[in-house]
Amino acid sequence: MKLERFREIALDFCGLDDENPVLVGVSGGPDSLCLIDALARCDFKVVVAHFDHRLRAESGEDARMVQAYAAQRGLPFVLGSGAVAQYAAEAHASLEEAARFLRYQFLFEQARQLRAQAVAVGHTGDDQVETVLMHFLRGAGLAGLKGMAFRDFLADWSAEIPVVRPLLAFWREDTVQYCRENGLSPVMDASNQNTVFFRNRMRHDVIPMLETLNPQFRQNIWRMTQVLAGDEAVVQAAVEAVWQRSFEQQGEDALALRVGELKNQPVGLQRAMLRRAAACLDPGLRDVDYAAVERGVQLLRSAADGQADLVHGLRLVIEGDRLWVTRKAELPLEDTWLQMIGPDCDFFVPGEFPLAARWKVSARWVEKENIPHSLRETSASDEAWLDADCFLRTLQIRRARPGDRFQPLGMKDHSMKVSDIWVNQKLPRRARKDWPLLACDDAILWIPGFRPAHAYRITSETRRALHLRVFREDDFS
């Protein structure tokens, strides 16, 4: 292992500087001992951090060895320890997961306290190949096949302090040789041989076997990871661009994307968008099932109203141009919708009537001389001017009923079913049930948000007007 190349990698690929402290996780094995020693020799400001997992009787000796090494080299040393077995039992996690969790918790806490520029760990090219092979066996996508990076932010731990892996460009045997050449005596962690069963089968059985088929296997996989990491960045950039264009809204239980932006995208991007949407609602989600994503893609490509189950209780719903990802049976009501919250009832003029989401309907009489000369055009949907002489004093505000008909302003000869108006206006079905109508006896005067009734329009004969309006309580218009 050439120290010069190591230093280049630490600077250029890991992005380390030699002014700020680097916290180095040191188990005492050849990888991490080589790492701390090489970083120190290259004049990086290292702090030695050891976490005692207390899983083996001799773990205290490892800690003392690492501490002695730090003392001998005059390097600052921090020691942590945790009740791994107890944590594993409490969190229903494997010993390995629990150990990793407590170790990283310790490392990042220390790094924050020390204002370290990074946490450095001793993963080698062999760890990379083992990791990628394990991902391959479970059919991982690009994110898994690209393996670990020289410099990376672990979302679970810190958005500011990266984890860096300067040894990723070297093999495990390089670190063993480095220790030998530099008089370092690593501890041989017995757990390497036993606890991490699956990884060890890779290391001791599968990779040597694959190397008999292709002696360049490890080198090939290592290069593959570099190429795929580049490809993944390209895909991620494309995903980000489409996400920006198609994202519409997100609440706690649901988010909405624009179907129009998504339906003609390549299937690779559609899959990525579904996975990302799921991860937005369920940040702990690691993998979205292949079949679930394919169901979602099929729904999306149909671009027709419909539903599909996604994963972990998340559902996909297409409603018009919206693709909802939601964990509730009911989609959220839009706060731009007018929705009655109480029962149907009388509505006195002048007066106000409250709706959901801080909306209100108001009504007042306006004498002829105060009617604006140029009424807003017929499409203005937040108010209606009607000829008051046509009405009794009491109006009703109520929901639509089967058979309700309505003749909108400008439609001279015939009336329409209210239900057809909903469809024409593309009002989502679940918004229709509680949408308010203003009525007088059997006649519908106005559907707030749409046009007023033709029969009650203002004419030159009008002597007094009924002015109806919807507004939000925080609107001062």
Using CB under 8 A as the criterion, which residues of the chain lie in contact with a copy of itself when the complex forms?
Answer: 136-142, 145, 198, 201, 206, 209-210, 213-214, 216-217, 219-224, 226-235, 237-238, 266-269, 271-272, 290
Which residue's CB is nearer to a copy of itself, number 138 or number 393? 138
**Least distance CB 8 / a copy of itself (angstroms):** 12
Which residue's CB is nearer to a copy of itself, number 184 or number 196? 196
**Least distance CB 432 / a copy of itself (angstroms):** 35
Which residue's CB is nearer to a copy of itself, number 246 or number 326? 246
**Least distance CB 139 / a copy of itself (angstroms):** 3
Q: What is the rounded distance in angstroms from the CA atom of residue 440 to the CA atom of residue 446?
A: 10
**Least distance CB 26 / a copy of itself (angstroms):** 31
Cβ atoms of 144 and 135 within 8 Å: the answer is yes
Which residue's CB is nearer to a copy of itself, number 136 or number 153? 136
**Least distance CB 101 / a copy of itself (angstroms):** 24
Burial class of residue 343 in the structure, from the number of CB atoms within 10 Å of its CB (0-12 exposed, 13-18 middle, 19+ buried): exposed
Which residue's CB is nearer to a copy of itself, number 146 or number 322? 146
Which residue's CB is nearer to a copy of itself, number 298 or number 424? 298
DSSP assigned state of 331: P
SS (H, E, C) 353-403: EECHHHEEEEEEEEEHHHCCCCCCCCCCCCEEEEEHHHCCCEEEEECCCCC
DSSP 143-209: HHHT---SEE--TTT-SSS-EE-GGGGS-HHHHHHHHHHTT------THHHHTSHHHHHIIIIIHHH
**Least distance CB 300 / a copy of itself (angstroms):** 13
Which residue's CB is nearer to a copy of itself, number 68 or number 267? 267
**Least distance CB 201 / a copy of itself (angstroms):** 6
Helix (H) / strand (E) element for 464: namely strand 464-472
Helix (H) / strand (E) element for 295: namely helix 290-302
Kindly give, in sequence order, each residue whose CB lies less than 8 Å from that of residue 27, ignoring residues fewer than 6 positions away.
Answer: 50, 51, 62, 66, 122, 187, 189
Q: Which two tokens stand for residue 79?
A: 């020691």
Which residue's CB is nearer to a copy of itself, number 10 or number 273? 273
Cβ atoms of 352 and 360 within 8 Å: the answer is yes
Q: How many helices, marked H, and strands, marked E, lie in the chain?
A: 17, 21
Kindly give, in sequence order, each residue whose CB lies less than 8 Å from that of residue 232, ignoring residues fewer than 6 positions away.
Answer: 142, 143, 146
Q: What is the rounded distance in angstroms from the CA atom of residue 59 to the CA atom of residue 65?
A: 10
* Sheet architecture: strand order including 322-326: 247-250, 254-258, 322-326, 315-319, 306-309
Cβ atoms of 279 and 293 within 8 Å: the answer is no
**Least distance CB 138 / a copy of itself (angstroms):** 5
**Least distance CB 277 / a copy of itself (angstroms):** 16
Most distant CA pair in the chain, distance: 106
**Least distance CB 316 / a copy of itself (angstroms):** 18
Q: What is the rounded distance in angstroms from the CA atom of residue 127 to the CA atom of residue 130?
A: 5
* Residue 453: strand, helix, or coil: strand
Which residue's CB is nearer to a copy of itself, number 121 or number 228? 228
Which residue's CB is nearer to a copy of itself, number 268 or number 332? 268
Which residue's CB is nearer to a copy of itself, number 232 or number 344? 232
Cβ atoms of 451 and 381 within 8 Å: the answer is yes
**Least distance CB 123 / a copy of itself (angstroms):** 19
